[in-house]
Amino acid sequence: MSRVYNFCSGPAALPEAVLKKAQAELLDWHGAGVSVMEMSHRSTEFMSILASTKARLKRLLEIGDDYEILFVQGGASTMFAQIPANLTSGYDSACYLDTGAWSTKAINEAKKYTNVKVVGSSKSDNYTSVPNFDQLALDESAAYLHLCSNETIGGLEFADLPETDLPIVADLSSTILSRKIDVNKYGVIYAGAQKNVGPAGIVICIIRKDLLARCDDKLPTIWNFANLAKHDSMVNTPPTFAIYLADLVFEWLEEQGGVEAMEAINKKKAQTLYDYIDQSAFYANPIDPAFRSRMNVPFTLADDSLEARFLEESDAAGLRTLAGHRSVGGMRASIYNAMPMEGVEALIDFMKAFEKRYG
Ligand code: PMP
């Protein structure tokens, strides 16, 4: 067996310890005589896994009792529709911040449900920066303010939030659990699982309980956040194995020292990679240094005709999935929690050698 360093943006690398534990428990989970995949979702065994997953997430992110944790199916893209469908009843509009490809998708989907007010956009600088929060055209009568704290494709991340009384609804798909956040500053946090949480199949949704009063009875039952909360995310059969793996990832995170410890490592990983890119005339990253993503590091080669060769040779060296998103090209190294410092060092060593050969 030889595992590679997997830089995929998602589904992304999982901690090896988690995969091994899942493997060890695959045929017979804790003496149940079946795997988690084969268990009734209503069984006491699975209910204990669900409770454990929620309790660990609550501890890791210090989520208060005034928030509900939901496991939603359909991916973060479904949330782009579910958010306005659930939260705009009784309101004329919703505010959106536009910082890149994923914000744009959320905006386009929301337009089907409500009047979208784009309160700030960095489109004119090709999404290399974040709009000045003091100059946002916020409408305090809107349903909420939506933003995407880490643009996975562009590699743009911001930790600060605008000052507003509107509930902030944040797509944290590619940054959740990678750095400390104050959950109390958000109305809703949602995140697709397949980067920092577990396999694809669930979206974590952390929602302030008072917002559940907005969920209209006319919503499809399975889409209604209030209904999901009432039934503990078990309106129908949830993706049980994905939830179980999320529990194992959360357990692993707790063993690593929690979010604060991960943040320190993530900072170091990203800084080392950006420092190397910045001192080189061969590689470049276009993002304003104040907003460079710690999770997704896009970079270009001075001579883009070498891209195919870079990908071929890096792949052969065991550094997998370094191609940029198909919409932008170039390279992208996604270095989520499960990517160790050694993986980043191996990438830099390869980049140095490649530059020496072709630079
Ligand atoms: N938001 C962000 C920030 C993402 O990175 C992604 C997926 N890469 C999505 C939303 C969409 O996720 P899904 O494929 O689960 O719908």
Task: Identify whether 1 is part of a domain.
Answer: no
Residues 220 and 300 in one domain: no
Question: pLDDT (tens digit, 9 = 90+) per residue, 59-104?
Answer: 999 999 999 999 999 999 999 999 999 999 999 999 999 999 999 9
**To the nearest whole percent, how much of the chain has pLDDT over 90?**
98
For the full predicted model, state whether its pTM sits above 0.95. yes
Of the residues 29, 102, 223, 252, only one is catalytic, namely: 102
- Mean pLDDT, rounded, for 158-176: 97
Whether ligand 1 lies within 6 angstroms of the CB of 324 is answered as no
Ligand 1 pocket, mutate which of 152, 195, 327 (most atoms under 8 A from CB): 152
How far is residue 101's CA from residue 222's CA, in Å, rounded to a whole number? 27
Question: pLDDT (tens digit, 9 = 90+) per residue, 271-310?
Answer: 999 999 999 999 999 999 999 999 999 999 999 999 999 9
How far is residue 108's CA from residue 150's CA, in Å, rounded to a whole number? 18
* Residue 236 counted as an annotated binding residue: yes
Q: What band does 320 get if pLDDT is binned at 50, 70 and 90? A: very high
- The reported pLDDT for the residue numbered 342 is 97
Q: Is the per-residue pLDDT at 2 higher than 90?
A: no
Question: pLDDT (tens digit, 9 = 90+) per residue, 200-224?
Answer: 999 999 999 999 999 999 999 999 9
Task: Identify whether 7 is part of a domain.
Answer: no
- The reported pLDDT for the residue numbered 252 is 98
Last residue of a domain, one of 255, 290, 311: 255
Question: pLDDT (tens digit, 9 = 90+) per residue, 95-139?
Answer: 999 999 999 999 999 999 999 999 999 999 999 999 999 999 999
Q: What band does 7 get if pLDDT is binned at 50, 70 and 90? A: very high
Query: Whose alpha carbon is nearest atom 3 of ligand 1?
Result: 173
Residue identified by tokens 């893209």 is 77
The CATH number of the domain holding residue 293 is 3.90.1150.10
* Residue 42 counted as an annotated binding residue: yes
* Residue 93 counted as an annotated binding residue: no
- The reported pLDDT for the residue numbered 328 is 83
Model ipTM? 0.99
The CATH number of the domain holding residue 218 is 3.40.640.10
Residues 207 and 318 in one domain: no
Task: Identify whether 4 is part of a domain.
Answer: no
Whether ligand 1 lies within 6 angstroms of the CB of 173 is answered as yes
Total domain count, the chain: 2
Q: Is the per-residue pLDDT at 193 higher than 80?
A: yes
User: Which residues form the domain of 337?
Assistant: 257-358
Q: What band does 244 get if pLDDT is binned at 50, 70 and 90? A: very high
Task: Identify whether 8 is part of a domain.
Answer: no
Q: Is the per-residue pLDDT at 164 higher than 90?
A: yes
- Mean pLDDT, rounded, for 254-262: 98
Residues 69 and 80 in one domain: yes
Query: How many other CB atoms sit within 10 Å of the CB of residue 89?
Result: 17
- The reported pLDDT for the residue numbered 359 is 85
Query: Whose alpha carbon is nearest atom 5 of ligand 1?
Result: 152
Q: Is the per-residue pLDDT at 327 higher than 90?
A: no
DSSP secondary structure of 136-201: ----TTSS-EEEESEETTTTEE-------SSPEEEE-TTTTTTS---GGG-SEEEEESTTTTSSTT
Of the residues 171, 223, 252, 269, only one is catalytic, namely: 171
- The reported pLDDT for the residue numbered 24 is 98
Residues 132 and 193 in one domain: yes
Q: Is the per-residue pLDDT at 151 higher than 80?
A: yes
DSSP assigned state of 12: -
Of 38, 10, 15, 12, nearest to 26 by C-alpha is: 38
Residues 268 and 247 in one domain: no
Query: Whose alpha carbon is nearest atom 15 of ligand 1?
Result: 75
Across the chain, what does the average pLDDT equal?
Answer: 97
Residues 140 and 160 in one domain: yes
Whether residue 102 lies in the annotated active site? yes
- The reported pLDDT for the residue numbered 168 is 98
CB under 8 Å to 34, separation ≥6 — which residues? 28
Last residue of a domain, one of 219, 237, 255: 255
Last residue of a domain, one of 255, 272, 298: 255
Residues 45 and 149 in one domain: yes
- The reported pLDDT for the residue numbered 326 is 84
